[in-house]
Structure 1
């Protein structure tokens, strides 16, 4: 009988250990690369060095972590898709939004996300951004042409032709569908702030806008891109809002699902997430495209296709289904009646 020796298990060779170490190192490098690309490392650094040391009660801060959802992803009836940008009309105490990707329109919304009026835009390009400048005047940004068009909203809702607008262009680094994504206005400083979405992310400040429209040409353009390059940990920028109460900028990122507060000197001050894993939202905002604040400090966000969010710095249950009988008399007025009262008293 032939006896076969029992095979002896040999210890792992040095080359085997090297392969495993190489695989582990590759995974670590991939994770580090993803962290840098998505700015997770910058967000962690911000938490460790700044946000924990800032007072939530500082009146100079908007302090976005203190905001709680009041209306969570309400679909806007009458709008099916392509809702982009939002701004606050302080004269009529309403919100204005943009619909693009088909017939382009400005829409008026209540502060509960109800559709009130439509203003079809004729002859305009790829409108992505919108800001209210006061006195019925609005500015819109054309993403592809990197053009800012300024015009008066009519007293009665109707179509608005591009011939009614005055415009200026900043054809800097034209990049197709990754151009001007958001615009906001500082009435006291007579400044427009404009953000470019990505590749690269950019921020411009344009001074003397209203003065130039009134006949005193004095436009001055300042590149503030260094603010977002060093401070903003988001992969893109989808909208911007100037907070008149604090003098700060509120930035929105679609890809990173973040709302961020930037100081007057470009420093990152606070942020809150629109990802349900890190916030009080029932589901993550699918594609947040617009952000604004009203005179009461309520924060509004809109997301494609047609979702409406509001946030307040107070505790309480979401008011998604606010009863109609709780509306005040001014809210019940039509937009035409409101504008008539504003003009004639």
Structure 2
């Protein structure tokens, strides 16, 4: 009711998720059997990056969900998401370790060795399989948003990641629990994306089959159900784990075991 009452206010300068409809539904990725996880958009190459968490792999995908390349992630563990930082850099989230590993965009054919790259480990959770689940990066503000799935759900804002990589150490970790308490209408959080055009944050829920849009103050602006019958979907998205938006506003989802979706706004 609240989002509907503010429709006129937000439709022109937000993603406005109620207008999104599926264009590519449940396309199985050739050569990927299971455990498809995170997604991010790389405008420099006009493609998507995705990760498989077991065995750990990095994938390059077209905007139609066609596999363009794949790289083994040697020494990595339980990779749940990937975010493009710009300047040919990616950051990978290892859930169980609670680690963020920054890697260069790979060339064809070479495996990535974890020991070769810088990693940041934040002691924000225990040692169980309940750590970092999703990443979203604000390039202009040098802010990395990180979500923890459940027990409890968490949203963190990490400021200064790129600056620290350049030698200007000054990380600041902000707990955005108040945003979750006031705006999140879902049981879990499986992915996060920062939309540079609107300055808004998208949050994805696997269990509740929802995408939610929050403004810069953490207020709920809009949401989109991923249940069958909504957004033109013939069937519900089974287990949405990854999410990103490209420069044209097209929304992409990755769902286990190996399914690819693209949505566009009417």
* In the alignment, structure 1 residue 113 sits paired with structure 2 residue 65: yes
Residue aligning to 1:238: 190
Residue aligning to 1:130: 82
* In the alignment, structure 1 residue 93 sits paired with structure 2 residue 46: yes
Q: How does 1:299-310 map to 2 (within 5 A)?
A: 299-310=251-262
State the SS of the aligned residue for 2:13.
Answer: coil
Q: As a proportion of its length, which structure holds more helix?
A: 1
In structure 2, how many angstroms separate the alpha carbons of the residues matched to 1:186 and 1:243?
8
Q: As a proportion of its length, which structure holds more strand?
A: 2
* In the alignment, structure 1 residue 203 sits paired with structure 2 residue 167: no
* In the alignment, structure 1 residue 62 sits paired with structure 2 residue 15: yes
Residue aligning to 1:173: 125
Per-residue Cα deviation, 1:10-44 (whole angstroms, up to 9, x for no partner): xxxxxxxxxxxxxxxxxxxxxxxxxxxxxxxxxxx
- Count of residues in correspondence between the two structures: 266
Unaligned runs of 5+ in 1: 1-46, 315-345
Q: Which has the larger radius of gyration?
A: 1
Q: CA deviation at 1:175?
A: 5.6
State the SS of the aligned residue for 1:79.
Answer: coil
Query: Do the aligned partners of 2:238 and 2:256 also contact (CA within 8 Å) in 1?
Result: yes
In structure 1, how many angstroms separate the alpha carbons of the residues matched to 2:127 and 2:12?
39
State the SS of the aligned residue for 2:38.
Answer: strand
**Mean Cα displacement is larger for which, 185-194 or 148-157?**
148-157
Per-residue Cα deviation, 1:149-175 (whole angstroms, up to 9, x for no partner): 111122334100002221111111326
In structure 2, how many angstroms separate the alpha carbons of the residues matched to 1:272 and 1:281?
11
Residue aligning to 2:167: 215
Q: CA deviation at 1:85?
A: 0.7
Q: CA deviation at 1:109?
A: 0.3
After TM superposition, the score normalised by the length of structure 2 is: 0.96
State the SS of the aligned residue for 1:50.
Answer: helix
If asked which structure has higher relative contact order (CA below 8 Å, sep 6+), I would say: 2
Query: Do the aligned partners of 2:97 and 2:127 also contact (CA within 8 Å) in 1?
Result: no
Query: Do the aligned partners of 1:145 and 1:171 also contact (CA within 8 Å) in 2?
Result: no
In structure 1, how many angstroms separate the alpha carbons of the residues matched to 2:239 and 2:12?
31
In structure 2, how many angstroms separate the alpha carbons of the residues matched to 1:222 and 1:146?
16
Residue aligning to 1:281: 233
Query: Do the aligned partners of 2:145 and 2:157 also contact (CA within 8 Å) in 1?
Result: yes
In structure 1, how many angstroms separate the alpha carbons of the residues matched to 2:223 and 2:13?
15
Unaligned runs of 5+ in 2: none
Residue aligning to 2:142: 190
State the SS of the aligned residue for 2:164.
Answer: helix
* In the alignment, structure 1 residue 269 sits paired with structure 2 residue 224: no
In structure 2, how many angstroms separate the alpha carbons of the residues matched to 1:245 and 1:144?
32
Residue aligning to 2:102: 150
In structure 1, how many angstroms separate the alpha carbons of the residues matched to 2:52 and 2:162?
25
Given the alignment, which residue of 135, 140, 143 partners 2:92?
140
